[in-house]
Chain A
Amino acid sequence: MAMETLKIHSLTYTYPGSTLPALADVSCTIRVGECICLTGDSGCGKTTLLLAIKGLLRGNSLSGAIEFAAPPNDDGRSTPVGLVFQNAESQILCTTVSEEVAFGPENLCTPPLEIARRVRRSLGAVGLEGCETRHVERFSAGQKQRLTIASVLSMNPSLLLLDEPTSQLDSRGKQELCELLTGFKREGYTIIMTEHDPRPFAAIIDRYLPMAGGRIGAAAATLPEPDRYAAKAAVILRSTAVDDAAAIAVQGLCFSYPETGVALKQVSLQVMRGERVHLYGDNGAGKSSLLRCLTGLERPDSGTVELAGIANPRPEHLPGKVGVLFQNPARQLFAESVHEEVAYTLRRLGWSSHETEAQVTEALTLCGIGNLAERAPLTLSFGEQHRVALAAVVAPKPGVLLLDEPFAGLDFPQRLALLDILAEMSGRYGTTVLIVSHDVLPDHSWADRTLKLSGGLLGETDH
Chain B
Amino acid sequence: MAKPTINNPGRKLLRTSDYACQYMTHDSMVHRLGAGWKIAFGTLLSALAVGARTPGELLALVVVVLVYYFAARLTPFDLWRDTKFFVFQAVLVTGLYCLLSGVSRGLWPGVRQSVQIILFYIPGAVLLRTTRTGDMMRGLRRVVPYRLSFLVFVSIRFVPFFLRELNEIMTAQRLRGARLLPRQMVDPRNWGDLFHCLLLPLMVRALKIADDVSLSAESREFGSRKQRTFFDISRQAGPAGTMSERDHPDYPVALQPCDPPGNGKRKGLI
Residues of A within 8 A of B (CB): 51, 54-56, 62-68, 74-77, 79-80, 82-83, 85, 87, 89-96, 98-99, 102-113, 115-117, 119-120, 129-130, 132-135, 137-138, 151-152, 155, 257-263, 265, 284-286, 295, 297, 315-316, 318-320, 322-324, 326, 328, 330-335, 344-345, 348-349, 378, 392-393, 454-456
- Given A94-B133, A96-B132, A116-B236, are A54 and B243 also a contact pair (CB < 8 Å)? no
The tally of CB-CB contacts under 8 A between chains A and B is 253
Q: Check if B196 is an interface residue, CB within 8 A of chain A.
A: yes
B225 near A107 (CB under 8 angstroms)?
A: yes
**B222/A107 in contact, CB under 8 A:** yes
Known contacts A65-B270, A129-B242; decide if A319 and B176 are in contact (CB<8 Å). Answer: yes
Instruction: Flag B190-210 by CB within 8 Å of A: 1 or 0 each.
Output: 000000110011001100110
CB neighbours of A286 from chain B (8 A): 6
Expressed in whole angstroms, the Cα–Cα distance for A295 and B175 within the complex equals 8
A-B contact pairs, 8 of them (CB 8 A): A54-B267, A79-B221, A91-B216, A107-B221, A111-B254, A112-B252, A151-B220, A326-B168
Contact status A104-B221, CB under 8 Å: yes
Most chain B CB within a 10 A radius of its CB, from A55, A107, A318:
A107
Residue of B nearest to A319 (CB): B177
Report B231-268 CB contacts with A as 1/0, cut-off 8 Å: 11100110011110100000111110011111110011
Given contacts A94-B134, A107-B223, 8 further A-B contacts (CB under 8 A): A68-B268, A96-B233, A109-B228, A130-B240, A151-B220, A261-B4, A331-B205, A393-B176
**Once bound together, how far apart are the Cα atoms of A108 and B181, in whole Å?**
48
Do B5 and A349 touch (CB < 8 A)?
no
Q: Are B25 and A319 in contact (CB under 8 A)?
A: no
Judge whether B220 and A152 touch: CB under 8 Å.
yes
Partner pick for A104 among B3, B209, B220, CB 8 A cutoff: B220
Instruction: Tell me whether A76 and B221 are in contact (CB under 8 A).
Output: no
Residue in B171, B219, B221, B253 whose Cβ sees the most chain A Cβ within 10 Å: B219
Cβ contacts under 8 Å, B133 to chain A: 93-96, 99
Whether B173 is near chain A, meaning CB under 8 Å from some CB there, is: yes
Compute how far the CA of A263 lies from the CA of B237 in the bound complex, rounded to whole angstroms. Answer: 33
Do the beta carbons of A113 and B220 come within 8 Å of each other?
no
CB distance from A454 to the nearest CB of B (A): 8
Cα separation A89 to B161 with both chains bound (whole Å): 9
B174 part of interface (Cβ distance < 8 Å): yes
- Select B245's contact among A55, A117, A137, A260, beta carbons within 8 Å: A117
- Expressed in whole angstroms, the Cα–Cα distance for A330 and B168 within the complex equals 11
Q: Are A130 and B242 in contact (CB under 8 A)?
A: yes
How far, in angstroms, from A334 to B173 measured CA to CA in the complex? 10
Given A134-B25, A262-B3, A284-B6, A87 contacting B212 (CB threshold 8 A): yes
Chain B interface main SS type = loop
Knowing A89-B161, A133-B241, A455-B5, the reply to whether A65 touches B205 (Cβ < 8 A) is no
Selected interface stretch from B8-16, B43-51, B60-68, B114-122: B8-16
Determine whether the beta carbon of B220 is less than 8 Å from that of A119: no
Q: How far is the CA of A330 from the CA of B154 in the complex (A)?
A: 23
B251 x A116 contact (CB < 8 A): yes
Asked if B212 and A91 sit within 8 Å, CB to CB, the answer is: yes
B201 adjacent to A115 (CB under 8 Å): no
CB nearest neighbor in A for B238: A132
- Which chain B residue has the least Cβ–Cβ distance from A118? B231
Chain B residues whose CB sits within 8 angstroms of the CB of A326 once the complex forms: 168, 171-172
A259 and B201 form a contact (CB under 8 A): no
Choice from B132, B174, B243 contacting A316 with Cβ under 8 Å:
B174
Shortest distance between the CB of B8 and any CB in chain A (Å): 8
A132 touches B229 (CB 8 A): no
Question: Pick the contact of A98 from B215, B225, B243 — CB < 8 Å?
Answer: B243
The complex places the Cα of A151 from the Cα of B222 at a distance, in Å, of 13
Q: Which of B14, B172, B259 contacts A324 (CB 8 A)?
A: B172
